[in-house]
Structure 1
Amino acid sequence: MTGEKATMDAPQIYVERTLAIVKPDAIHKSEEIEDIILRSGFAILQKRRVHLTPEQASDFYAEHYGKMFFPSLVAYMSSGPVLALVIARDQAISYWRELIGPTNAVKARQTHPDCLRAVYGTDDQRNALHGSDSFSSSEKEIRFFFPDSVIEPVPVGQAAKDYLAKAVNPSLLKGLTELCKQKPIDPVIWLADWLLENNPNKPKVRQIVVQEPN
């Protein structure tokens, strides 16, 4: 991957960062799109113009590997330069997704005519722009284009929802289900003990057998 990288310090008021990509079919409109991004309340923290190789495009879209559209997606994303931007503002992930609109640019022109994909996109694949769909995706995708980027954990908004869904809710749901079955006198203490005992991240300690000397 080749290209130049520009960085600037992020103001403390921003609570989310996300990755935006101006794709090959819209790269000639990149300055215009950057202006829209800024006027929509985002700060552009980093940007990099690159021409992805097919291998790099495959890595970036690895989650779609095996799907019928994967080869044409890789060919499209490696057909010309793209502009990758780290943008930030309050609720950046959801706001940027709303701003770019539905994935299919043709349908977007019917249902969301003012969204960016409706304005700059061509069809369901050449849809002009990309936006990360979650905090975990944005973290991974930002590091793909900006390996040295430091992404501070965000304990609010989408980041908190993603963290709870992945790390807390599965264990908590099991504990609450068992709590309803047992109906203990002190449910809070019982649940606390159950969580301590059934913590999936709790290290397993092997029992050490000590032999007494003869």
Structure 2
Amino acid sequence: MGSTRNEVTGGLRPVRVWDWPTRLFHWALALCVVGAVLSAKVGGNAMEWHFRLGLAVLALLVFRLLWGVVGGRWSRFASFVYAPATLLRYVRGRALPQEHLDVGHSPTGALSVFALLGLLAVQVATGLVADDEIASTGPLVRFVESATSLAATSWHKSWGQWLLLGLVALHVAAIAVYRLVHRRDLVTPMLVGDKPLPPDVPASADHAGRWGLALIALSLGVALALWVQAQGG
């Protein structure tokens, strides 16, 4: 019975790639970013939610930074920081089987992830010191010069906003291309955690002990976000 099943699946087996904390982070971040963008567009009283969601993104980014060091195998930055030569071979279709470049974040996917995380960090930072000179100021605006605050506000509302939307659109488009052209589903593994992979692919640890570690990392992010919020008075 087992050999028949292996023949049907081509010798693949479900391997835990995305642990629970990574998956929850991914979808929570997506919801917060969408909510922050929409609330900014609505304006008025909705700006209160824009600030709250911005602080939530801050907490999530701190979590991801820590989880990138201590998280599950395929969530660690070490698993998807690639040398330029590796990226070039991947783009040329010459990746080595033992490299497992398509298990977690591929070399091109890693570039997208780092770009999104970096740009989100800049957006949060500029939002914290922003001042629209009408009714809204960031909680850390008193710590910077007026010129710095105005420059941060300009970036946050123009280049930063449009670059972020562009990267999100590119991210979604890449997922669609992988699904329609390469017949690879990137969404389901981020929902269920597992991918059908060869038996020699190591799995990410995903158990109660790891979840406790994730809770500590998230708590540190929340603590920082609450401290930042308190600076606004």
| TM-score bracket relative to the smaller structure | under 0.3
The TM-score with structure 1 as length reference comes to 0.22
The TM-score with structure 2 as length reference comes to 0.21
- Structure showing greater relative contact order (alpha-carbon pairs closer than 8 Å, 6 or more residues apart): 2
- Structure with higher Rg: it is 1
Larger strand share, 1 or 2: 1
